[in-house]
Chains A and B, each alone.
Chain A
Amino acid sequence: MFVGFLYELRRRKVPVGAQEALALAQALGAGLHDSSLDGFYDVARALCVHTEAHLDAFDQAFLAHFKGIEEKGEALAEELLQWLREAAAKPPRDRTAEESAALDALDVAALQALFERRMREQRERHDGGDRWSGTRGTSPFGSAGKAVAPAGFRVEGEGGGRSALKTADARLYRGYRDDQVLDTRAMGMALRKLRAFTREGGPTSWTWTAPSTPRRGTRASWRWCSGRLADPTHGCCCSSTWGAR
């Protein structure tokens, strides 16, 4: 089920392998994710990411793999309810063992009411606000291969936390990546920001000196250039030196 997700992680250079797959299976088997997508996000992040440099790649992989899952979750919920209604409509001797077990464990009317309330809440959140729908508690729908979870639905109370997809979308850990190379474009953008300085309290001139000979003690192939920001009010307030090959 989640093996595809692990390959998505590998594609983004996060080192996961059989050890992580087994650990994740064990954790899900122990129910540590509380049968919800947000729980899965937390558990998978704790087990698959080993250093903060990979946190951003994890977010990207999570988004790529799980985006759009809420709509599929709703469709699955509808399907389940339909199946339960059909099972309830049949006379007892025609039901299969699965159907009987499901009907014993769950009260179809209560489930229907709960489902409608959830849909209403989700629609309100979509319209009213800035939050994605929380998908905690959709356990019967998520477990592929098993028709029903005996505990039934669980509706999450207000925990004050963001949903997993929204957290992943926010890309909060972009700054911790260690594979971003400072390229010409980034340098250009940084230098362009200096154009925003105005006369009002800002420095007035930027002087470049670019000596062509290398500094003593550095490699012959390096060239150094330095810049000075001069501000008559406060004196020189910024001076930097760049080395480039």
Chain B
Amino acid sequence: MPSPFNRFTGTDRYLTNLALQAAVNCALALERPLLVKGEPGTGKTLLADAIATALGLPLLTWHVKSTTRAQDGLYVYDTVQRLHDSRFGDGDVKDVGHYIRWGQMGQAFRSKGRVVLLIDEVDKADLEFPNDLLHELDRMRFRVMETEEEIIAAERPVVVITSNNEKELPDAFLRRCVFHFIDFPDLELMKRIVRVHHPSLDESLVDQALEVFYQLRALTRLRKRPSTSELVDWLAVLQAAGIQNVKLEAQLPFVGALLKKEQDLEAFAEAAGARRARG
């Protein structure tokens, strides 16, 4: 008998497939973090947003940078401010708790209700960063050394972690997570996604644009293939410019919205030229 928790089925702005729903529901039921990987632009970050909307929970986002340390996510003890106040200010310097700045993970644990915590692009930080998070993610508690306080999460937050595959993640971290790889959408799903973002766009323009898009993706010499978000932007531009017809040719309108690298633009120009020469 399925347990009575709220199942995730996507929202009206974020379309999902059954595999993604299964992965999210596993993460919710087993209370494990969900690790999402996929090509850039396939909607990994938006997934956390969709989960928060679907479950009606607040979303806390932690954008990891290359300089981030795991401790920063929990809390930071602002010693400089305390020193400054002790010399110049009038704050209550004796109360150390006043100078503890909570990071996103610390806020998630301290929150009274359940929250969704998104740890975005975890592979940007250093190699030891995911390992440093392991203990806290497992036990959902941490200790503030300065005030000798132990913060225990009243309700386990829903943790969504995204990775762009720039670095290998440690095995111990991977095995604690539920994994999902977001495939690049096929034509049918892409049409539905486009419909969600541009409901008033002309059907024939959408079909032609999708054909051009998938033909571009099939070019083997591209270093960075165009992704879903670029397609949506390109369609917005085409609509704004009032263009009715597109096909794959050298003079593709607003090709800079799809291809971002110079080598790709050159490769595309050559491929388009070769097509014209052939056919």
**Contact status B22-A32, CB under 8 Å:** yes
Within 8 A of A (CB), among B169-226: 169, 171, 174-175, 177-181, 183, 188
Cα distance, A237 to B277, chains bound together (Å):
15
Q: Assess whether A113 is interfacial by the CB under 8 Å rule.
A: no
Interface string of B12-29 (1 = CB under 8 A from A): 000001110111011101
- Quick check: A27 and B29 within 8 Å, CB to CB? yes
Cα distance, A49 to B19, chains bound together (Å): 13
In the complex, the answer to whether B18 meets A46 with C-beta atoms within 8 Å is no
Asked if A110 is at the interface of the complex by the 8 Å CB criterion, the answer is: no
Is A64 an interface residue when CB atoms closer than 8 A count as contact? no
Is A243 in the interface zone, CB < 8 Å from B?
Answer: no
Q: Is the CB of A31 within 8 A of B179?
A: no
List A contacts of B22 (CB < 8 A). 32-33, 39, 42-43, 46
* Chain B: minimal CB distance from A203 (Å): 11
Chain B residues positioned under 8 Å from A200 (CB to CB): 278
A172 in contact with B183 given A32-B2, A50-B175, A237-B270 (CB within 8 Å): yes
Instruction: Judge if B67 is at the interface, Cβ distance under 8 Å.
Output: no
Interface size on A, residues (CB 8 A): 32
Contact of B1 with A32 in the complex, beta carbons under 8 Å = no
- Which of B2, B171, B179, B188 has a CB less than 8 Å from the CB of A46? B179
Interchain CB contact (< 8 A) of A30 among B2, B169, B277 = B2
CB contacts (< 8 Å) of A161 on chain B: these are 17-18
| Known contacts A23-B30, A27-B30, A31-B1; A38 and B181 CB within 8 A of each other | no
Which of B18, B22, B177 neighbours the largest number of chain A CB atoms within 10 Å of its CB? B22
Given pairs A32-B22, A46-B27, 18 additional interface contacts (CB within 8 A): A15-B171, A26-B29, A27-B29, A31-B1, A32-B25, A39-B18, A39-B22, A43-B22, A45-B19, A45-B23, A46-B22, A55-B181, A159-B18, A160-B188, A161-B17, A173-B181, A201-B277, A234-B274
